[in-house]
Structure 1
Amino acid sequence: MEKEGRKNSALNGSTTEIDPQNERKINMKNALIISYSFPPLNDIAARRFGEMSPFMPDYGLRPWIISTNSVGDLPVQVPEAQCIRIGLHPQRSMQIEDRDINANTFKMPVAFKVSRKIAKFLGLGFRSFDRTVVTWYPLIKKQTEMIVASIPKPDVIIGSFGPAASLWAARYLASFYNVPWVADFRDLGALHWKGRGKLSREIDLLIENRLLASASGLMTVGDVLANALEKKYKKRCCKVYNGWVRNSSQESPVENKEGEKYIYYAGRIYLHRMNSFFLLLDALKDAQTIHLKIRSLGPKLMEEKLLEYAQSIGLEKRLELLEPTDQLTVQKEAEMATMNLVVEDLNTSDPYSAGTLTGKFLQLLAFTPPVLSITRTDSEMSGILKETNKGKVCSGLKQVIEFISACLNDPERYQGNQSISKYSKLEQAKIMCSFFNQIISRTP
């Protein structure tokens, strides 16, 4: 088993042999992070710990990672010798359709495939017990001996949801090592109710409640979700925003020499956010001097819907749909934009969607252009944008038109203030590590 683990480590570019005995002598606590997504994969899930873990040693914690093998252009800022990669991530790039299922090593048992079909037919869907619990989680358990041989004993273990396997693996390894563990929710698990029946949610909540019973604490990405999790599970939930980090385009700003005025969006296009895009396109009928530029990650069907709507109102020439590109190009295009766009669901029926902070939102605070956020009025983004003077949440046509006009007439109006610094990944890592250190100190 150990030999197999070392072989996998070498294949991942790790040439440094780790001596657990020597590592234990260093006066620093060890935090084991289990995240299905991690750099080089470049998506929001990978960035959460991929961009915060490098700051952890500054606060007394050395990060160790269990993740999948993946591809992408996001820099791996933790030494590969501190990463254990098990299995393949099914996503070959940031594009939503670009998934190579044949390359995936996760094989679902036949019985589980059948039960999934039955559950789907009955309208049952469990976020706390998804396919990764019977695919990736067993692979981690199978590699326990290799994990023990490769890293020092952790002082705390963190499982980052989703998918659910990260939580199951964190609970298992915490029991194995007899150390505390923390459940990190980038999105709600069983509490997520949209598109599911009452029976499905209730069963899911029972599973998740049992799963989290042994957790020493919870962590999530904002106030609304933290309050919901604390209320449901009666455990302290630490709020750690995804945060922003400076990038090369900000170190050497790129001038928009052509003076092109555009609203910029880079990311996936989701059906439940489509009305926000439609609202913006309607507003552009009034704002004649600016267009919408989208670096789309798919899916194609949503791109077609967006283009069809633009054509129906005569704005197809002012909607620019671009292919995915590298991270540096996206950063430069965002820096040169007239304003950067964030879209979320306008529907207020979901009690938790007010707390949805799309991963790119806080990163946009660090760019020069203001942020136009089209979402529900009571969104948590509204308070952050007011505090930082970096933009505005708009929920209606008149608001969007007025915001675009204000930015065009007075580019310095939403230039931001010093409060932006508190949302950096460095500051968020400090909050996170303080939480972990408190849990470690309370453990006998």
Structure 2
Amino acid sequence: MSRRTPAPWDDADRTRAGDRAPDGTPRMLLVSYHFPPAETVGARRPAALVAFATEQGWDVQVLTATAAGSGDAPAVIPEDLVVRVAPAPKLPRLNLSPSGAPHSATGRPGSRIRLAAVRRAANRRLWRLGMEMLVPDPQLNWIRPAIREYLRVRGDWRPDVIVTSGPPFSGFVVAAKLARRLGVPWVADYRDLWSIGNEYWARSRLRLAVDRWIERRLLRSVAACVTVSEPMAETLRTTFGCATYTIMNGIDRRPLPPPTTTAPVISEERAAVGESAPMLTLAHTGYIYPGKREPGPLLDAIALLGSDAAHVHVVFAGEENGVVRAGVERAGVQDSVTLLGHVSAEKSWRIQAEADVLVLLMWNDPRDAGTMSGKMFDYLQARRPILLLGYEAGLAAKLVRERRAGVVHNDKHAIAAQLREWLAVKERSGRIPAVPAAALDGLYREDQLTEYMQILRDVTLRAATGLGFRVHSLRR
């Protein structure tokens, strides 16, 4: 029999750790590439799980690639319980969008901006080509260092369960390998789906087949999968045959931005480019996904307002990838849009709290019916009305309508009519009413994590009693 070439996560030896905690305290190892102090969206669900598990009396350790000084997010666990391992070797990182000061969408791009756009397009093509060759994702250089360093420093501490959150899905490889080495169950937490998801990025059929094969192979040994919506859970069940549970994201309890003696963030940014504050301000925070989550209908609706367009302004806070600028120029609404570029998490929350209306861009396609954006919960926390552009029969649209948290429109004429209605309310009363506090009931993070901890308890119990869990070799 020929010997196959080892996969990047294969290692020749195995070790067996000691017994579980003498006092019966359940132990969890969380494997997540992203973790505080990083302020990335990918760090928030893992951080919330760790914080809640600790409050529930679990003994928790964390394995992450996030460096200690990589952000300002607050710590959720003592630093001596976090193993931080840098990827190695370092891979080149392309700058896909320029950074710089916030700018208005008025004015045509000059030669320097056109040159920057050409460079972005070239970098994006190189990035896609490189991504096709990095399996399972560009974080594959974290797999070996993470496994080896954790096994080196863990001492005699042995988890009862390993939980990994992705993307990136290199963390799934790390968790599956450690679970096999330590003889414990592991749980795969999908914030987004991998090879069967709407956001799957690879272009070639060969790469899709490779990712599908890796995912199926890894999930042979998984004790359970968890994801953020029931349609996504059902997709995992039917495709891979694994036990899958739905645990939504939730609203992170945090204090609202304190009162400030300075001008609101949005007004400050507009003043920086010499523009006065409009009567109605809409805000979108976060990334714009080309081809799927785009602001075109909203920009076209503003163009339909005629003279009223002067009283409406949309602020986009997030990485500028050229999508918004192109849409603004096509619709001819340069005077009604400001692009802030990347902003800190704190500034993003302040923008959300200060806006009259928050714009949530999703994909207007039945394939997006089960997507529940984590941004939804940020917006609900701000209690500003939501204008959702996306699939009107999807889970997100249903939540907005049922909770009376805003409106769902995709037609430019319907959006224009809604903008006029909000303008009239703002003119009469000086403000757009807040979303009722009752709309947030049952949607806080702890409401969801209570059930998550029960799933983990069941997994550890079944592993301890030998029911329904068996560590499968990854060498099959």
- Interval containing the TM-score (normalised by the shorter chain): 0.7 to 0.9
Query: What is residue 215 of structure 1 aligned with on the other side?
Result: 222
- Following superposition, the deviation at residue 371 of structure 1 comes to 1.1
User: 1:371 aligned to 2:386?
Assistant: yes
Alpha-carbon separation, structure 1, partners of 2:433 and 2:361: 21
Q: 2:317 aligns with which of 295, 298, 304?
A: 295
User: Could you say what secondary structure the match of 1:74 adopts?
Assistant: coil
Query: What is residue 411 of structure 2 aligned with on the other side?
Result: 396
Q: Give 2:143's aligned amino acid.
A: Y
Alpha-carbon separation, structure 1, partners of 2:237 and 2:424: 44
- Following superposition, the deviation at residue 197 of structure 1 comes to 4.5
Matches within 5 A, 1:23-422: 24-25=21-22, 27-70=24-67, 71-87=70-86, 97=97, 125=132, 129-133=136-140, 135-149=141-155, 152-192=157-197, 196-249=203-256, 261-273=280-292, 276-285=294-303, 286=305, 288=309, 289-299=311-321, 302=322, 305-348=323-366, 351=367, 353-410=368-425, 415-416=435-436, 418-422=438-442
Q: Give 2:173's aligned amino acid.
A: W
- Following superposition, the deviation at residue 38 of structure 1 comes to 0.9
- Following superposition, the deviation at residue 57 of structure 1 comes to 2.5
- Following superposition, the deviation at residue 356 of structure 1 comes to 2.7
- Following superposition, the deviation at residue 294 of structure 1 comes to 1.2
Alpha-carbon separation, structure 2, partners of 1:268 and 1:341: 12
Cα pair distance change 1:154/1:96, threshold 3 Å: farther
- Following superposition, the deviation at residue 73 of structure 1 comes to 2.1
User: 1:425 aligned to 2:424?
Assistant: no
- Following superposition, the deviation at residue 142 of structure 1 comes to 1.8
Cα pair distance change 1:98/1:153, threshold 3 Å: farther
Over residues 192-222 of structure 1, what are the superposed CA-to-partner deviations in whole Å (9 max), with x where a residue is unaligned?
A: 3565344443343222111111101001121
User: Could you say what secondary structure the match of 2:33 adopts?
Assistant: coil
- Following superposition, the deviation at residue 169 of structure 1 comes to 0.9
Query: What is residue 13 of structure 1 aligned with on the other side?
Result: none
Q: Give 2:242's aligned amino acid.
A: K
Over residues 24-75 of structure 1, what are the superposed CA-to-partner deviations in whole Å (9 max), with x where a residue is unaligned?
A: 3555311111111111111111111123321223334333211013312222
Alpha-carbon separation, structure 2, partners of 1:381 and 1:208: 27
Q: Give 2:36's aligned amino acid.
A: P
User: Could you say what secondary structure the match of 2:203 adopts?
Assistant: coil
Cα pair distance change 1:208/1:262, threshold 3 Å: same
User: Could you say what secondary structure the match of 1:33 adopts?
Assistant: strand
Work out the number of aligned pairs and report it: 394
Alpha-carbon separation, structure 2, partners of 1:437 and 1:126: 38
| Preserved CA contact (<8 Å) 1:292 1:318 | yes
Alpha-carbon separation, structure 2, partners of 1:88 and 1:295: 29
- Following superposition, the deviation at residue 242 of structure 1 comes to 2.2
TM-score, normalization: structure 1?
Answer: 0.78
User: Could you say what secondary structure the match of 1:264 adopts?
Assistant: strand
- Following superposition, the deviation at residue 328 of structure 1 comes to 2.2
Alpha-carbon separation, structure 2, partners of 1:126 and 1:230: 28
Q: Give 2:382's aligned amino acid.
A: F
| Preserved CA contact (<8 Å) 2:373 2:396 | no
Moved more, 187-196 or 65-74: 187-196
| Preserved CA contact (<8 Å) 2:219 2:242 | no
User: Could you say what secondary structure the match of 1:32 adopts?
Assistant: strand
Alpha-carbon separation, structure 2, partners of 1:53 and 1:98: 34
Cα pair distance change 1:325/1:137, threshold 3 Å: same
Over residues 293-323 of structure 1, what are the superposed CA-to-partner deviations in whole Å (9 max), with x where a residue is unaligned?
A: 1112233xx2xx4224323433111101114
Alpha-carbon separation, structure 1, partners of 2:387 and 2:133: 34
Cα pair distance change 1:194/1:297, threshold 3 Å: closer
Alpha-carbon separation, structure 2, partners of 1:369 and 1:230: 36
Q: Give 2:59's aligned amino acid.
A: R
Matches within 5 A, 1:9-24: 24=21
Gaps of 5+ in 2: 1-16, 100-125, 268-276, 426-430, 466-476
| Preserved CA contact (<8 Å) 1:245 1:424 | yes
Q: Give 2:214's aligned amino acid.
A: I
Cα pair distance change 1:363/1:266, threshold 3 Å: same
| Preserved CA contact (<8 Å) 1:171 1:214 | yes
Cα pair distance change 1:54/1:318, threshold 3 Å: same
- Following superposition, the deviation at residue 85 of structure 1 comes to 0.3
Give identity over the alignment, percent: 20
User: Could you say what secondary structure the match of 1:342 adopts?
Assistant: strand
- Following superposition, the deviation at residue 379 of structure 1 comes to 2.5
- Following superposition, the deviation at residue 402 of structure 1 comes to 3.5
Cα pair distance change 1:393/1:166, threshold 3 Å: same
Q: Give 2:461's aligned amino acid.
A: S
Query: What is residue 9 of structure 1 aligned with on the other side?
Result: none
Cα pair distance change 1:158/1:253, threshold 3 Å: farther
Alpha-carbon separation, structure 1, partners of 2:336 and 2:213: 49
Query: What is residue 108 of structure 2 aligned with on the other side?
Result: none
Greater C-alpha radius of gyration: 2
Cα pair distance change 1:195/1:141, threshold 3 Å: closer
Alpha-carbon separation, structure 1, partners of 2:250 and 2:218: 28
